[in-house]
Amino acid sequence: MARGTYISENLTQPQIEMMLLLDEYEMDIFTLQELQELSAHQFDNFNELVENLSHKKILSRIERGKYCRSNFRDEKVIGTRLVEYGALAYWSALNLHGLIKQFPNSVFIQTTKVKPPKQVFGLTYKFVKITPKKKTGIIKEGHGNHSYAISDIEKTIVDYFDLPQHTGGFADLIRAFDTAKVSEDKMMEYCKAVNNLAATNRIGYLSEMLDKKGMKSFIRFAKDQLTQTYNPLGPLGVETGKYNAEWKLKLNISEAEVLKIVSQNCY
């Protein structure tokens, strides 16, 4: 049904007025509280009106207290509305920033709240809880009612190194990092916020090994963070490999393998 086109014999006058209100404010997704505030409490039996519109498939219920128009299926907007201060991150953000080609099977949402995975309209949303101090590097995309939060490129990469289990694999991350144009100032800022020394270590090593442009200050910063503890280069890989004393890394992914991975960006 096109916006603004309502068949009067199927809807009551209050239902038509409610849909016209959504048209006026160009709202395709909303909470009951948002809609009630917009209506200035002009409707009697407010909740019943919304539920009836849902039963008539004019609106779709996302979860308790949250609705959208029946033809609205933007997973970016829906995902970030499912939890307070939610932002697209990890695999989903890397894909949206154009740094990987693979589409994730789930939509990854970063949040400071605990929320179990949820299916909405056949799509799975996974929520990754972080501490509030890690909640940085978030930008807004989209317009108006269709806006959504997403981690910027630098924060997406740092998050990936911080929690690689929410990625498509370390090889994808290496390729994405090699391709991405990043600000070393932002990279340092986000590494400080995330405070994962192993992640900073890996980023610094790869920056130096790949001779990544504009990362000299970051490399010095990363070396200043080194401890005597050795970490594996590939966090989800095997424990074997040569030791790199300069970077305190166990190279379970060899330099030759890293170079082979990034060479695939050329094809």
Residues 106 and 60 in one domain: no
**5 in any annotated domain:** no
Residues 190 and 252 in one domain: yes
Residues 145 and 199 in one domain: yes
Residues 87 and 136 in one domain: yes
Residues 257 and 126 in one domain: yes
**Predicted confidence (pLDDT) per residue in 37-78, tens digit:** 988 888 888 999 999 999 999 999 999 999 999 999 999 999
Between CA 194 and CA 247 the distance in angstroms is 19
Residues 204 and 258 in one domain: yes
The last residue of a domain, from among 21, 38, 69: 69
Domain that holds residue 101: 76-266
User: Which residues are 150's β-sheet partners?
Assistant: 88, 139
Per-residue pLDDT at 2: 54
Number of domains in the chain: 2
pTM attached to this predicted model = 0.91
**Predicted confidence (pLDDT) per residue in 187-235, tens digit:** 999 999 999 999 999 999 999 999 999 999 999 999 999 999 999 998 8
